[in-house]
Chain A
Amino acid sequence: MDYFFIIDFLQSLVDGLLFGTTYALIGIGFTLIFGVMRKLNLAYGAAALAGTYIGVAASLAFDAPPPLVFLLSALGSGVIGILVYYCCFRFTPTHYPMASLLASVGMLLFIDEVVIHASHGMPFPYPSVFRDATIELGDVWIRGDLLFVFGICVVAMAVLFWLLYRTPLGLATRAVSQQPRAAALCGIDPTRVNLLTFGIAGILGGIAGAMTAAAVGVISPIIAMGLTVKGLIAVVIGGLGSIPGAIIGGLLVGAAENVFLLLRGVTERDIYVMLLLFLFLTLRPGGLFGSSAGRD
């Protein structure tokens, strides 16, 4: 094996791992919502996309600086996440899982269509920072913009862990996801916890959307499908319901897709990522950290 191939391989791996943190965030979002409601919110990636477009709208409307664009993307996605909760989850019957699942599929298509309409289906430039900065580790380069993406996503995860393990809201969230009936009997209002979880998951999705767009420098509606599918694959690999699993799964998907990109080219890349999904679903359907313990 020649030296340049090894360098290319390592380069792909590093880029993929850095970018994989965005998939990890999406995976965490899916897992958080699944944790408290035992339901899959398929509109999640679309909400993240729409939030990111809100950031773009701000940058077009009043030439907002990049940090503000990122912030508005995250918050916008949080608000849309809450809207999705009210439209698809709050009032659908809890004992009929198909209702909310299909409602969220409808919402995925609806949000996507609205975004396409509003943006005329055109890609827009998205602020990207530290584009030209690189850190050289021998012959492997670490791109500044990807390092920024990585840093923001890691900070978001750290804040989430602080919320979950150091605040009353986090305690309530963990209680509802482990034993919802007992949580209610301890004085926790599950509806409120669900609402806040959708908001927080939405913000995480918005950060992932913003960072995905920042890594590429443009945003287009097709990002929604990528976020949804890759996020779900991350969650399947990690094990639905496990936050560490979602992180590992996200990094793995990021790394795998970049390595496949190097080996097989951009047209075949996603075929192999999907094969990875089938492999996991067949051989290890519970994922790496699969534990659905805690439910009676």
Chain B
Amino acid sequence: MLEIRDIKTTYGKIAALKGVSLDIREGGLTCLLGPNGAGKTTLIWTISGILKAQSGSMKLAGEELAGLKPHQIVEKGVVTVPENRLVFPEMTVKDNLIVGAFSRRKAKGGVEEDLESVLDRFPRLRERANQEAGTLSGGEQQMLAVGRALMARPKILLMDEPSTGLAPIIVEEIFEIIGKLRDEGRTIFLVEQNANLALDYADHFYLLEQGHVTFGGQPGEVDHDELIARAYLGARKAS
């Protein structure tokens, strides 16, 4: 569905992505693993248009996304749940969700229905619908960030480290939400530090090390322990 070919992105003078190619397949959970500093978040920011790729292409069903601005990429249906959630802290939960539907304001209608369905999906958000988002717990803010992205009716959901800074029990809950979204047939691209948990849910995965994709496949095909060691430590060889 989204074909990423030979993407190079520099961050200041540092080459963060040195030619990344991967495919995000329709109707499945594609997971990107890798140690800190491998360039995972840089890739998310490049796909979402916040960083500009120096070269390479990103084609959504044949249509080139590279060079578009962030708001245009959202309008194409590629929607990001950013790292650290980035909710609008002084807006109510409800207003946060309504902002999420901004990209489709021209095609009027459906926003109320979508708002209801997101609040049905996350009852904790319904309880706090009129509360300012800054007062929510980390887990609730993560739900809000996911809900906000769903309001845009995404074709592809990009999720950047949804488990960051959350207690283990909350992380489990967030992953159950992600698993449910996958089971509904949505296309998800998940960037995650927590390789162990991510591999339980992934249909496909890639390993990013030092700006290169060094490995790709399906979770069943490989020795998880070695993969996880590399995902955490970035070792070239685990043994």
Contacts and interface: CB of A to CB of B under 8 A. Distances in A.
Contacts of A187: 71, 74-75, 102-104, 152
A58 B100 CA distance: 44
Contact of A189 (B48, B71, B152): B71
B52 interface: no
A72 to B, nearest CB: 32
Given A171-B99, A293-B134, A185 B105 contact: no
A294 interface: yes
Contacts of A172: 99, 102
B87 interface: yes
A12 to B, nearest CB: 37
Contacts of B74: 185-187
Contacts of A293: 89-90, 134
B82 A181 contact: yes
B229 interface: no
A174 interface: yes
Contact of B102 (A171, A294, A296): A171
A179 B86 contact: yes
Contacts, number: 74
A279 interface: no
Contacts of B70: 184-185
A121 B142 CA distance: 59
A182 interface: yes
B130 to A, nearest CB: 14
B90 A182 contact: no
A287 to B, nearest CB: 17
Contacts of A175: 88, 91, 99, 102
Contacts of B136: none
Nearest to B158: A185
A92 interface: no
A296 B91 contact: no
B148 interface: yes
A188 to B, nearest CB: 6
A187 B70 CA distance: 7
- Chain A CB within 10 Å — which of B50, B75, B88, B90 has the most? B88
A220 interface: no
A183 interface: yes
Interface string B83-121: 010111111000100111011110000000000000000
A188 B50 CA distance: 13
A255 B219 CA distance: 71
B86 A296 contact: yes
Contacts of A178: 88-91
B80 interface: yes
B87 A186 contact: no
A168 interface: yes
B79 interface: yes
B59 interface: no
A184 B50 contact: yes
Contact of B148 (A181, A186, A294): A186
B173 to A, nearest CB: 22
Contacts of B79: 185
A187 to B, nearest CB: 3
Nearest to A192: B71
A294 B50 contact: no
A184 B71 CA distance: 5
B69 interface: yes
Interface of A: 168, 171-172, 174-175, 178-179, 181-189, 293-294, 296
12 contacts: A171-B98, A178-B89, A179-B86, A183-B99, A184-B49, A184-B71, A185-B74, A185-B82, A187-B74, A187-B75, A188-B102, A189-B69
The 7 closest A-B CB pairs, nearest first, are: A187-B103, A182-B86, A187-B74, A184-B70, A178-B88, A189-B71, A187-B102
